[in-house]
Amino acid sequence: MLIEEVRRLDDRGMAAWDHHDAADFADLFADVFTLSDVSLPNALHSTDQVRQYMETWFTAFPDMHIRSINRVVTEDAVAAEVEFTGTNTGPLVVGGMELPATGKSVTGTGSYFASVRDGKYTSFSAHPDVAGMMVQLGLMPGA
């Protein structure tokens, strides 16, 4: 693939996150893929699981907005650092546990690494700063 094609795919993914479009994000994955997230107990392998994963974030932070801070794109991969803002007004699922809403706002950061083949993600590894988010939500002591 051309670098510009990978960039457009990733732009669609970021837009899907920012517009809370779980179905559009799930459509970016190949027939066979792996999505892992440090906040999940197991990797995801189906688009239904990806949609559910996205919906849990949108439920926890209905006003979530996300933006790319840094991004590196090649012919078959993308790596990015992201920042998101949101208010935790719904239950938050972390590490397979559901936590009640705190009503607090956060500015979270994270990174992801994705492999791309034939215009689709074949692997996606997300690394949100869960500890930093938990401190801001008052669910973990801060420094």
55-108 pLDDT, tens digit each: 999 999 999 999 999 999 999 999 999 999 999 999 998 877 889 999 999 999
What is the rounded distance in angstroms from the CA atom of residue 44 to the CA atom of residue 130?
Answer: 19
Q: Is residue 141 part of a domain?
A: no
The range of the structural domain enclosing residue 62 comes to 3-136
User: For 1-5, 26-30, 44-48, which range has the lowest pLDDT when averaged over its residues?
Assistant: 1-5
The pLDDT of residue 140: 87
What is the rounded distance in angstroms from the CA atom of residue 128 to the CA atom of residue 110?
Answer: 4
Q: Is residue 37 part of a domain?
A: yes
Q: pTM, whole model, 2 decimals?
A: 0.92
The pLDDT of residue 100: 94
Q: Is residue 142 part of a domain?
A: no
The pLDDT of residue 143: 63
If one counts every other C-beta atom within 10 angstroms of the C-beta of residue 123, the result is 18
The pLDDT of residue 129: 94
Q: Is residue 107 part of a domain?
A: yes
The CATH number linked to 87 is: 3.10.450.50
How many domains, the chain? 1
Q: Is residue 86 part of a domain?
A: yes
The pLDDT of residue 59: 96
25-45 pLDDT, tens digit each: 999 999 999 999 998 889 999
Q: Which residues contact 128 (CB under 8 A, 6 or more apart)?
A: 37, 38, 39, 108, 109, 110
The pLDDT of residue 96: 77
117-142 pLDDT, tens digit each: 999 999 999 999 999 999 999 988 87
